[in-house]
Amino acid sequence: MSNDWQRLSPWAIVFFAFRGLKHIANLYPAFIGVFITAQHFDLGWGAIALYTFYAFVVLVLGASLYYLNFFYIQQGDKFLIRSGILQKDRLELPFARIQNITVKEPFYFRPLGLVILNMDSAGSAQKEVGIAALSLAKAATIKDTIEQYNAGRSSEAEMSDTTANTETDKVDPSTKTLLITRSNADIILHGITHNRAWLLLAFMAPFFEQIQTLLFHVIETIGFDFATWISNKSVFVITMLFIVSAFFVFFVMSLLSVLGSILSLYDFKLYAGKNVYQRNSGLLNKHEIQVKKSRVQALRYVQNWMDRIVGRLVLILEPFNASSGQPAASIMQKILVPSINDTEFDGLAKHVYPTFALQKDTFKPISKYYLVRKLYMVVLPLFAATAAVAIVSKQYELLVFTPLVFLLMPLFYCRWRRYGWTQCDDYLVVRSGFIGVEYFVFPRYKVQQVKVYQSIFLKRKKLASVQFVLASRAAFIPFMGEQDAHALANNTLYEVEMSGRSWM
């Protein structure tokens, strides 16, 4: 490649503007304050619209300046990137440190035949580098160059006395294997059973008063006196109105969840190449996500209560950048297979871990002392605190409700029933959940740390808790038998030491 620094296409300004909008969206609590202040001073919608236009101009101007100061160049086996407006950043990205490469086709680039090439260098979305507004051919060239380089390094490390193998990890049409697809019905069902649209209600909570005022204003505008109408209705009618309204809200939230599922997972296909898994999906924004097989740390069988009703589940392949506390854990940055059944799970799990078979009747339960601890450490203190508040405040009628805290015990019982663990060949499976269930499956040689917890109280009961730390997340088994806990920890550490296999 040329030694001259290269500039992105001017269309990258659109990408930087959308990225700026995402950062602004994260500051929505501040905008709530601005909105409330604007309502207090009665600025009017005209002034708000004018300020919104000014903000749009500033956003586009900032995106344009960032574009003018963004340069990249390929020098041998590394990328150099210069960016920043006031603070200048210079990033050196060696090919050998690039872990995942993702090609995205956002809706605003698709008519132009442009894509975004994301390169993840450190297992975190915070370290992700995006080169925007590339032609599909140029992005493919850069991607092939990186993959060929890394494939050559792997071949040299494995066969130093032979000619390096130049076959890449790329999933190409001639060698890829289609593992599974999902129909539109499956994707819609996933949107219903994994409804996350309720988070929108939390986002809108600060605006409920304004929304209510606006709604009543609209009703009054059309000449309907809602306050008088509702005051003349019986309790039964008001109750039915509330129930119908709740169902309507649930219906709207479900539609939003289904829409999000379709936008993210439409035309879902999971492929397997020689050394990688590749997921293709997306309606407006096309996503191609690749994860090297060696970087899969664990697989998860996730079945919530609605999945249990319809007999479906979600399979998730956990790469080492899938920590739940990071943005990389989002639906668009990991291998997630939606709405499958147990048979399909077994087939995919066999492909990932050939010697693994999930046997649900072999799990060992944790100790019932878990329930005793919850009673003494949670329920009874909460009961005492509630009673004390009622007595101190002289609201003695509240004492009638204090026994309700004991209703927590059936919930803890369900949680206790879900906890369990089992070993299958070289794999450890941890079961957890509440009404639903999750199985966390990982090879023991992938474990990076093992922690055994034993308080004075657990020691007296000859119990211990064990935590297995992987590069993607941690698996925790509480209140095991003391001998089982130490044996499992020691066997796992022995497997890590003696296998000699890399977790990557």
**In this predicted model, what pLDDT tens digit does every residue of 27-76 receive, in sequence order?**
555 555 555 555 555 556 677 677 778 888 888 999 999 999 999 888 88
Exposure string over 322-341, b if 16+ CB within 10 A, otherwise e:
bbeeeebbebbbbbbbbbbe
Query: Across residues 6-24, what is the average pLDDT?
Result: 86
Contact 316, 334 (CB under 8 A): yes
Residue 493 has pLDDT above 60, yes or no: yes
pLDDT tens column, 444-491:
999 988 999 988 888 999 999 999 999 888 999 999 999 999 999 999
Tell the burial category of 486 from Cβ atoms under 10 Å away from its Cβ (0-12, 13-18, 19+). Answer: middle
The 3-state secondary structure of 124-160 reads: CHHHEEEEEEEEHHHHHHHHHHHHHHHHHHHHHHHCC
Q: In what helix (H) or strand (E) does residue 221 lie, and over which residues does it extend?
A: helix 208-221
Q: What is the structure's pLDDT at 39?
A: 55
Residue 324 has pLDDT above 50, yes or no: no
Q: What is the structure's pLDDT at 40?
A: 56
Residue 129 has pLDDT above 60, yes or no: yes
pLDDT tens column, 68-118:
999 988 888 888 888 888 878 888 888 877 777 788 888 888 888 899 988
Angle formed at CA 302 by CA 300 and CA 303, multiple of 5 degrees: 160
**Residue 304 binned pLDDT confidence (cut-offs 50, 70, 90):** very high
Residue 162 has pLDDT above 80, yes or no: no
From CA 335, how far away is CA 288, in angstroms rounded?
A: 10
Query: Across residues 305-330, what is the average pLDDT?
Result: 73
Non-local CB neighbours of 136 within 8 Å, separated by 6+ positions: 113, 114, 115
Query: Across residues 131-142, what is the average pLDDT?
Result: 87
Q: What is the structure's pLDDT at 329?
A: 41
Q: What is the structure's pLDDT at 22?
A: 77
Q: Select the more confidently predicted residue: 322 or 437.
A: 437
Greatest mean pLDDT among 13-27, 40-54, 362-376, 390-404: 362-376
Q: Select the more confidently predicted residue: 329 or 67.
A: 67
pLDDT tens column, 198-230:
666 665 655 556 666 666 666 667 777 666 777
Q: Select the more confidently predicted residue: 309 or 143.
A: 309
From CA 301, how far away is CA 357, in angstroms rounded?
A: 12
Q: What is the structure's pLDDT at 181?
A: 95
Query: Across residues 232-250, what is the average pLDDT?
Result: 80
Instruction: Kindly state the tokens that stand for 310.
Output: 């319809």
**Looking at 8-17, 146-155, 361-370, 406-415, which range is the least confident one?**
146-155
Q: What is the structure's pLDDT at 90?
A: 82
Contact 261, 245 (CB under 8 A): no
Residue 271 has pLDDT above 60, yes or no: yes
From CA 313, how far away is CA 322, in angstroms rounded?
A: 19
Q: What is the structure's pLDDT at 49?
A: 76
Q: What is the structure's pLDDT at 211?
A: 64
From CA 294, how far away is CA 446, in angstroms rounded?
A: 10
From CA 261, how far away is CA 251, in angstroms rounded?
A: 15
Q: Does the pTM of the predicted model rise above 0.85? A: no
Angle formed at CA 12 by CA 6 and CA 16, multiple of 5 degrees: 120
Query: Across residues 18-27, what is the average pLDDT?
Result: 75
User: Is residue 161 helix, strand or coil?
Assistant: coil
From CA 47, how far away is CA 300, in angstroms rounded?
A: 51
From CA 317, how far away is CA 470, in angstroms rounded?
A: 13
Torsion of CA 338, 432, 354, 187, to 10 degrees: 0
Residue 501 has pLDDT above 60, yes or no: yes
Residue 125 has pLDDT above 90, yes or no: no
Contact 187, 261 (CB under 8 A): yes
Residue 338 has pLDDT above 70, yes or no: yes
Query: Across residues 134-152, what is the average pLDDT?
Result: 82
**Residue 353 binned pLDDT confidence (cut-offs 50, 70, 90):** very high
pLDDT tens column, 423-447:
988 899 999 998 899 999 999 999 9
Residue in the block written with tokens 């329920």: 379
Q: What is the structure's pLDDT at 77?
A: 84
Q: In what helix (H) or strand (E) does residue 315 lie, and over which residues does it extend?
A: strand 313-319
- Please count the other Cβ atoms lying within 10 Å of the Cβ belonging to residue 216: 13
Non-local CB neighbours of 281 within 8 Å, separated by 6+ positions: 264, 265, 266, 267, 268, 269, 287
Residue 327 has pLDDT above 80, yes or no: no
- Read off φ and ψ for residue 146, nearest 5 degrees: -65, -45
Tell the burial category of 412 from Cβ atoms under 10 Å away from its Cβ (0-12, 13-18, 19+). Answer: middle
Distant-in-sequence contacts of 74-82, Cβ < 8 A, 24+ apart = 74/1, 74/142, 74/145, 75/1, 75/3, 77/149, 79/119, 79/129, 81/129, 81/131, 82/5
Nearest in space to 465 (alpha carbons), one of 481, 453, 483: 453
**Looking at 19-28, 112-121, 187-196, 325-334, which range is the least confident one?**
325-334
Helices (H), 317-435: 342-352, 369-374, 380-392, 408-418
What percent of the chain has a predicted confidence (pLDDT) above 90?
29
From CA 283, how far away is CA 111, in angstroms rounded?
A: 13
Q: Select the more confidently predicted residue: 179 or 322.
A: 179
Tell the burial category of 120 from Cβ atoms under 10 Å away from its Cβ (0-12, 13-18, 19+). Answer: buried
- Strand bridging mode 420-424 / 364-365: antiparallel
Residues in the chain, overall count: 504
Contact 437, 303 (CB under 8 A): yes
